[in-house]
Amino acid sequence: MECFSSESCAFVVLLLSFLCFYKLWMMKRKKEDERLKKNGEEFIVPKGNWGWPLIGETLEFIACGYTSKPVTFMEKRKSLYGDVFRTHILGKAVIVSTDPDVNKMILQNHGGAFIPCYPKSITELLGKSSILQMNGPLHKRVHSLIGVFLKSPQFKARITRDIENVIRLALSAWNGSNQVYVQDETKKITFEILVQVLLSIGPGEEMKLLKREFEEFIKGLICLPIKLPGTRLYKSLKAKKRLLEMVSKIIEERKKAMEKTEEKGLPDDAIDVLLRDVGESDEMQQHRLPPDFISGNIIEMMIPGEETVPTAMTLAVKFLIDNPIALAHLVEENVELKKKKDQSGEEYSWSDYMSLPFTQNVISETLRLANIINAVWRKALKDVKIKGYLIPKGWCVLASLSSVHMDETNYENPYEFDPWRWKNISNAASSNTFTPFGGGQRLCPGLELSRLEISIFLHHLVTTYRWAAEKDEIIYFPTVRMKRKLPITIMPLHQ
């Protein structure tokens, strides 16, 4: 009885503590609501729900990420509160936009009102000088340097041949295999291609070591931000340190080689571009990018080779498997190109792949439906008024790209894989309703390169093999991937 009484008292104390905490939480939220209402004036303060103390609506947000329709979290609140609403997820008060026009203004960042805002594990792992978190003139400078390099005709000609060689070699290694895992194979391909673009490192032990350390590093991007020994973040930080040592050594050797020669031909890779820091003004010469800054950002630029591009390749195969008519149409288009090249004896060019209309439509539809980059996070530096809404200073803003892609007002039957829809959508790359690569000054400079890689992969895959697939499903949280890595049984095409 005495024990029961003690437990009862403890329960009462705990209950009262929770009720007091809940009351304080609600008072704080009420004050915030009053501040927003006062500052809103003629502008509409986004409506929404604060959810539970501390956790807010995080549990439902995460739970929806494990379903086949992860945007249901956004859709439910959009139906209740409108296209722009407020919530409390991942420990932060957040304004969520599912409006393409509001998203465009956030991405364009007119007036410098927004800066990048990411979970602590990402900021901790990438560091303060990360291009992802960088803002202002320095970001614009680095973004421009890489963008100009990737768009040069000389680079396009060379990288097309390099990608072909990597993919042909990879696909030839499939011979004799009864089963391959597409997700694993595409990661090998795209990482090798990107490391060539960034560092000019080819296949071999150095490439294997680099990939092994990078895989350990990237595991910590989305994790609990605890740096104690044995934790995921701790291990990833150690892997990054080893990566920095490897890349810094390459940069130092390259720098010494450049100092020994006055010849300045075309840059071979991203290291060359950033070391040269194009521009001859005195100001540019005095503010060259330091080697440690370059090495950190080179590592960060490897991320698309491990995540976004291979995921797009894998899901393109998945969607084509599920749509035999689309697959047949793609095969027909690519076989026709192969016949022309075989008859003429000409090499493939960048424009050959990029001008395949149905293949490009398949890629666009894959990017829209997969939503590999599902949102962009920003933080308001001041009270911002957009399209009749007020975004309070200091709040995080989540521009939901996936909500726009899956909105039936923008795309008929949005959950269907329909490459033919793109025949009627002009200039999709610049549309407010199609933003798989972000937008504004932070538009991915490698978007054309990514499309080229996927195009070449699909072309050589369908002109080399036919396949039968096992059942698999897409997982959307914490990142987009296949549950079983998309196993397929391959059958070589004999000429």
* Cα–Cα distance for residue pair 72/385, rounded to 1 Å: 27
Contact yes or no for 438/373 (Cβ under 8 A): yes
Identity of the residue numbered 415: Y
Q: Which residues sit in the known binding site for heme? A: 444
Q: Is 146 helix (H, G, I), strand (E, B) or coil?
A: helix
Pairing of strands 396-400, 92-97: parallel
Q: With b meaning 16 or more CB within 10 Å and e meaning fewer, what string describes 325-356?
A: ebbebbbebbeebeeeeeeeeeebebebbbeb
| Sign of the four-CA dihedral 50, 53, 55, 60 | negative
Task: Find out whether 465 and 490 touch, Cβ atoms under 8 Å.
Answer: yes
Give the chain's radius of gyration (CA, Å). 25
The answer to whether 179 and 488 have CB atoms below 8 angstroms apart is yes
Closest CA to 188 of 161, 156, 215: 215
Cβ-based neighbours of 320, under 8 Å, separated by 6 or more: 326, 327, 330, 362
Strands (E), 290-442: 375-380, 384-386, 389-391, 396-400
Distances (CA, A) of 488 to 40, 324, 416, 438, 470: 55, 15, 22, 32, 6
Residue 3 and residue 8: Cα distance in Å, rounded? 9
Integer angstrom CA distances of residue 170 from 173, 185, 312, 321, 461: 5, 8, 17, 21, 10
Say how far residue 304 (Cα) sits from the centre of its chain: 7
Residue 123 tokens read as 């900021």
Q: Give CA–CA dist 24/26, Å, rounded.
A: 5
Question: Would you list which residues are annotated within the binding site?
Answer: 444
Residue 66: both structure tokens together: 């494990």
User: If residue 472 lies in a helix (H) or strand (E), which one and from where to where?
Assistant: none
Secondary structure tally for the chain: helices H, strands E: 20, 12
Identify the three-state secondary structure at position 95.
strand
3-class DSSP state of 69 = coil
Q: How many residues does the chain have?
A: 495
